[in-house]
Amino acid sequence: MKVEKYLLRIIEREGAAHLSLIDPAKQSPEVAGRMASSVAEGGSDGIMVGGSTGAGGELLDETVLAIKDAVDLPVILFPASELCISGHADAIFFMSMLNSADPYYITGAQRLGAPRVKEFGLEAIPMAYLVVEPGGAAGRVGKANLIPRDEPELAASYALAAQYLGMRFIYLEAGSGAEAPVPVEMVRAVRRAVDSTLLVGGGIRTPEAAAERVEAGADIVVTGTLVEEVKNRAERIRGIVRAIKSGRGASRRRCKRSP
């Protein structure tokens, strides 16, 4: 089954999905494989591989292969540039940072990477990447005109533009390790504006924070820093997964999407 369809099916049946982010630059492929096993044990629905450091080449290939050896979950590339593409992954978030000040991050890297995506036969999932304050490394590297935390309607306008441009997924990113995740009010404003599949990530560390954002309309919660924690990794992920799949979010999505 295609990865996009797999994710949509989980969202429809379980109310929301959880993705774990592994940055290939932060550990050996072998350790990445072990991390993947414990997030799978915690109930994560898939693994995103990438990071602002832009690891590519052999390290990326070996990391993807180690993860695929360790778990039966889809591996989705989350590339910082055209150099971060591996033919061993199952899919790629083919993303454009719509609020970047640098055209390279909007269409430049995409132009350079597209032929490789085709050559590898990767499933490309079109995604708008919107970076919200504080933005972290993603905001700095991508030269983002950060969306202020108190301007939910600005995020909603970008999201609507993304939908009209044909992007089926929209990622609201506060930056890895952000002190506070994307505000709930902003998630709600974006959900009101679009029907797209909505991802939220950056600074989500607790089941409550994750569940609040799903209740506000997020379809997919992404956690990265939590995955890097050595202690109780599976339990911490399990707490988040349970919270997003059992709350009001679950019934909300089921009601909205059932025929």
**Nearest CB to ligand 1GP, comparing residues 69 and 208:** 208
Shortest spacing between CB 115 and ligand 1GP, in angstroms? 25
**Nearest CB to ligand 1GP, comparing residues 21 and 70:** 21
**Nearest CB to ligand 1GP, comparing residues 12 and 25:** 25
**Nearest CB to ligand 1GP, comparing residues 108 and 177:** 177
DSSP H or E run through 33: helix 29-42
Shortest spacing between CB 241 and ligand 1GP, in angstroms? 14
Beta bridge partners of 170: 128, 198
Show the tokens assigned to 152: 């939910």
Shortest spacing between CB 224 and ligand 1GP, in angstroms? 3
**Nearest CB to ligand 1GP, comparing residues 1 and 186:** 186
Helices (H), ranges, 100-151: 103, 109-120, 136-141
Residues that bind ligand 1GP (CB under 6 A): 21, 138, 173, 176-178, 201-204, 222-226
Phi-psi map region of 177: left, alpha, beta (phi>0 left; psi -120 to 50 alpha):
left
Q: How far apart are CA 200 and CA 223, in angstroms?
A: 9
Distances in whole angstroms, Cα of residue 12 to Cα of each of 8, 15, 197, 200, 230? 6, 6, 11, 17, 32
Shortest spacing between CB 118 and ligand 1GP, in angstroms? 25
Shortest spacing between CB 3 and ligand 1GP, in angstroms? 18
